[in-house]
Amino acid sequence: MAVKTETEIRVIKGGNPFGAHRVIEPKGTLPQPALKVNNDMSVMWDNEIMVDVEILNVDSASFTQIENEAGGDVEKIKQKILSIVAERGKQQNPVTGSGGMFIGRVHKIGPALAGKIPLKEGDKIASLVSLSLTPLKIEEIKKVNKETDQVHVRARAILFASAIYARLPADLPEQLALAVLDVAGAPAQTAKLVRPGDTAVIIGAAGKSGVLCSYEAKKRAGCTGKVIGITSSDSGFKKLKEYGFCDVNLKLSATDALACYDAIMKETGGKLADLIINCVNVPNTEMSSIMMCRDNGTVYFFTMATSFTKAALGAEGIGRDVNMIIGNGYTKDHAEITINLLRESPKIRKIYEETYAA
Ligand SMILES: NC(=O)c1ccc[n+]([C@@H]2O[C@H](COP(=O)([O-])OP(=O)(O)OC[C@H]3O[C@@H](n4cnc5c(N)ncnc54)[C@H](OP(=O)(O)O)[C@@H]3O)[C@@H](O)[C@H]2O)c1
């Protein structure tokens, strides 16, 4: 079925700026926690932006879960994504609850927004709000790239008046910009959290967000600080050493809390770390994050596989007084800060070009 043409789109007045008008169930919720949103693209509210979507960047925790469930079979991955979107009206993984983001071209700007936002029809943008709240209608999945978690589609999406987005930078290839913007919150938060002289542990330090956090943490901690990178696989460990952003590289599973605790006790002479940044894509890593952190230190859970219950009750259970931050995907100027890392560090750019923009 072809995507509806512009003439067929009916415009309705009075949409809620946060998108509550598109929620089907449960009534009264906002689009992210909603189980189902209205993804009818033959209508739009006058304060919405309708976008022709080209690539979905499914977030790593979600993609990994879907890929595992599909046994790695690309056709089954496609079917799973199509069935999630058909059921929920949005790409929200029912197991992880998370989404991802997209790039596409602005198809139509609602009359209540036209002239009031720095966008025009035809502009190429990246969404900076999660797919887990974005009404999406997929007409066709053209390609699934298992290496980059990117899904090439013919689809349409709606951005609400409160949504954030970025016009794609002219000096970077689109897929590179999409990859880095997917995890933009992590290095931008790292920049705010790491102080000179800090000991910071990055879990998942060879991954897409982890590598940016490692680079940024070392920049901020300086020569008196120490950055410790953790990864669990042989291939990840090889990459971690090649990248060279961390002062210490450890091959450990963050699901093994006691092993992580012992290793960081040893590395810090019993002081433990000031800051833990968790960038893994698997569940059950809350306890290692908490145990590696000193009293009154900070744990930043960027991973979408974090359980609030496990973190809160686990910290209480071992009598550890740590500040725990939920990895808000957004922090002020996160897109600019993160895109700038690709311009600032030729090494980061090369890693991203080779690994995430294929
Ligand atoms: N908060 C937000 O707004 C937001 C936005 C986007 C993404 N995310 C989430 O952030 C997380 C990281 O995303 P990403 O794109 O950076 O993922 P990624 O590129 O897949 O990296 C994940 C890393 O975790 C490591 N890892 C996996 N299991 C591990 C274990 N048991 N112990 C230690 N390390 C382990 C992997 O390396 P090894 O295989 O070597 O272990 C890998 O390098 C995901 O959960 C993603 O969903 C959050």
Handedness of CA 299, 300, 303, 305 (dihedral sign): positive
Q: What is the mean pLDDT of residues 199-213?
A: 97
Q: Is the predicted pLDDT of residue 79 greater than 60, yes or no?
A: yes
Phi, psi of 219 (to 5 degrees): -60, -40
Look-up: residue for tokens 């499914």?
58
Q: What is the pLDDT of residues 138-163, one digit of tens each?
A: 999 999 999 999 999 999 999 999 99
Q: How many angstroms separate the alpha carbon of residue 16 from the centre of ligand 1?
A: 34
Superfamily of domain 185-355: NAD(P)-binding Rossmann-like Domain (3.40.50.720)
Tokens of 283: 């569940």
Q: Is the CB of 281 under 6 A from ligand 1?
A: yes
Report the percent of the chain where pLDDT is more than 90.
91
- Distance (Å, rounded) from C-alpha 357 to C-alpha 213? 19
Report the pLDDT value the prediction gives residue 329, as an integer from 0 to 100. Answer: 85
Confidence of residue 116 (pLDDT cuts 50, 70, 90): very high
Tell me the pLDDT tens digit for each residue of 271-307. 999 999 999 999 999 999 999 999 999 999 999 999 9
Distance CA 343, CA 324 (A): 31
**pLDDT interval class at 58 (50, 70, 90):** very high
pLDDT in tens, 338-356: 999 999 999 999 999 999 8
- Residue 168 Cβ inside 6 Å of ligand 1? The answer reads no
The band of 7, judged by pLDDT with boundaries at 50, 70 and 90, is low
Query: What single letter denotes the amino acid at residue 130?
Result: S
Q: Residues 319-343: what's their mean pLDDT? A: 93
**The pLDDT value given to residue 178:** 87
Q: Identify which of 302, 325, 328, 331 to mutate to test ligand 1's pocket (most ligand atoms within 8 A of the CB).
A: 302
Sketch the domain layout of the chain as residue ranges.
6-168, 185-355
Rounded average pLDDT over 219-243: 98
Q: Is the CB of 240 under 6 A from ligand 1?
A: no
